[in-house]
Amino acid sequence: MRALPAFLLALITAAATAGENPWGQVRDPHEGTPEVIGGYTAGCLAGAGRLDLEGPGFQVMRPSRNRYYGHPRLVAFVEHLGHQALERGWGRVLVGDMAQPRGGPTDFGHRSHQSGLDVDIWFRLLPPGAPALPRSDADEAPMNPVVRAEVGRLDPTRWSPRFGALVRAAASAEEVERIFVHPVIKRELCRASGGDRTWLRKVRPYWGHDSHFHVRLSCPPDSPRCAPQDPVPPGDGCDQDLDRWIEDLRIAASRPAPRPPPPARPPLPAACTGVLPGSRG
């Protein structure tokens, strides 16, 4: 893969920052060997795999966004999670955003999901044996929160223990680096975990994530230019810091304030200039 001049990288990064994002306009993956380049919030993806819009135990939501691509390891992970849900009678997994065909920054919705190693899984399961949703419903169905942030509690009308089992199954996969959930959901997982708590270390509380959980895989062996995240801290994370975080979020939900403007995007690795041009089809 031959890199283009450095000035093109600057143009690409500037365009994405200004809202004229070429990464969101590409419809097909880059040809060649799969490789993750850069990090989760500043990276791209060569040789992406494409997840089927529906398969055994799963269905892609918001397919019109064209964000159902990832490193082949991520595609295999989602397919395996769907099989687990099917075999264990949990229902059909609803898959949110993965990455764009060549990764890179998105026009809206995420600062991460750039390197083909992130996927959002909805806190909603279609009933066992139910058919997949029609395409129009998959594009328009609401993603409802399962947390009542203003009181710092789960919504009992929307939360299901099956969601906790699904998070646990995902966190138990060796290739998963960490999972982001709302702090209230983390507290519930801590409460219901039982004897084996090792998997909880990967489940990290984070802002938002009250209607889905965000799975992040570690850098795959075939991608030496992948930038890893710092290691997950020791311990299961079920401590007083979690309670303080929940209280802070409860107060913030009861006293909403204007959101500050997002920070400027970090520059992409120079190697990403060779991923954007050209098209498979």
Q: Which residues of 38-63 are buried (b: 16+ CB within 10 A; e: fewer)?
A: bbbbbbbbbbbbebeebbebbbbbbe
Structure tokens at 70: 């990832």
**Backbone φ/ψ region at 9: left (φ over 0), alpha (ψ -120 to 50), beta:** alpha
Q: What is the pLDDT of residue 241?
A: 84
Backbone angles phi, psi at 65, to 5 degrees: -70, -20
Q: What is the pLDDT of residue 278?
A: 53
Full pLDDT tens readout for the chain, 281 residues: 333 344 344 434 444 444 578 999 999 999 889 999 999 999 999 999 999 999 999 999 999 999 999 999 999 999 999 999 999 999 999 999 999 999 999 987 788 999 999 999 999 999 999 999 999 999 999 999 999 988 889 999 999 999 999 999 999 999 999 999 999 999 999 999 877 889 999 999 988 899 999 999 999 999 999 999 999 989 999 987 888 888 888 888 877 767 777 777 889 999 999 998 754 43
Angstrom distance (rounded) from CA 246 to CA 243: 5
Angstrom distance (rounded) from CA 186 to CA 190: 6
* Nearest C-alpha neighbor of 213 from the set 175, 141, 165: 165
The full set of domains in the chain, from first to last, is: 33-254 (3.30.1380.10)
CA distances from 218 to 110, 174, 180 (A): 18, 9, 14
Q: What is the pLDDT of residue 10?
A: 43
Structure tokens at 73: 């390891």
